[in-house]
């Protein structure tokens, strides 16, 4: 009987120590409760967490799914990880040699730059944030709407931005003179009729 009590005591102590070694994680703050102006939603914050690995804890509320995609006109295949796939929080990250390479935001949602640029921001907002008017390439080709930031506030070494006309609210022929790879000035009076907005933001590591 004494041996049984001793064995039971040892087991209980072991269980107690195990519980102390593995404390329960604090529940993550629900996504719906994180305001859109929080650093949580900035691409710079996400980039830092990807570099140090803390994104697994910080962004644990977002579903993460890995796959692979082709880049650079199909010449390169990279691992990608989708976060928040199928929701307005969706973006994906490409990797090269297991290190984060680029972050792609293609949907309207809470993700933004530290300067408050988002997918859906107007050309006027982009120019204001950049501090100088941007130029852009024409549309309906491989690099449709590619933005040239010039000497503005947005760091071209870290950001690639594309524009799109608001096709739903403009005449069908409004874009005709802006098709192709020619470069246009965003302050050109004819540009206003396109109702341009940011339709893609890429953060480059």
Does this model's pTM top 0.75? My answer is yes
What are the residue ranges spanned by the domains of the chain?
Answer: 31-105, 123-204
pLDDT of residue 95: 98
Name every residue whose Cβ is closer than 8 Å to that of residue 141 and which is 6 or more positions away in sequence.
Answer: 179, 180, 181
CB of 174 closer than 8 Å to CB of 194: yes
DSSP labels, 119-135: TT-BHHHHHHHHSS--E
Q: Is 169 helix (H, G, I), strand (E, B) or coil?
A: helix
Terminal CA-CA length for the chain? 66
How far apart CA 29 and CA 59 sit, in angstroms, is: 10
pLDDT of residue 13: 40
pLDDT of residue 10: 39
Which residues does the chain have with pLDDT short of 50? 2-27
């Amino acid at each position: 009987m004494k041996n049984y009590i001793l064995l039971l005591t040892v087991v209980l102590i072991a269980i107690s120590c195990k519980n102390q070694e593995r404390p329960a994680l604090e529940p993550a703050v629900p996504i719906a409760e994180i305001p859109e102006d929080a650093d949580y939603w900035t691409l710079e914050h996400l980039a830092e967490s990807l570099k140090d690995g803390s994104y697994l804890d910080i962004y644990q509320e977002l579903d993460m799914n890995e796959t692979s995609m082709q880049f650079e006109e199909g010449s390169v295949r990279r691992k990608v990880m989708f976060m928040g796939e199928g929701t307005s929080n969706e973006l994906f990250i490409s990797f090269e040699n297991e290190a984060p390479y680029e972050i792609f935001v293609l949907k309207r949602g809470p993700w933004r730059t530290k300067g408050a640029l988002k997918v859906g921001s107007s050309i006027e907002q982009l120019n204001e944030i950049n501090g100088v008017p941007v130029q852009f390439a024409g549309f309906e080709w491989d690099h449709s709407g590619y933005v040239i930031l010039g000497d503005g506030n947005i760091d071209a070494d870290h950001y690639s931005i594309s524009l799109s006309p608001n096709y739903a609210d403009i005449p069908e022929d409004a874009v005709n003179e802006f098709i192709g790879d020619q470069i246009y000035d965003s302050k050109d009076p004819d540009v206003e009729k396109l109702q341009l907005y940011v339709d893609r933001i890429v953060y480059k590591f």
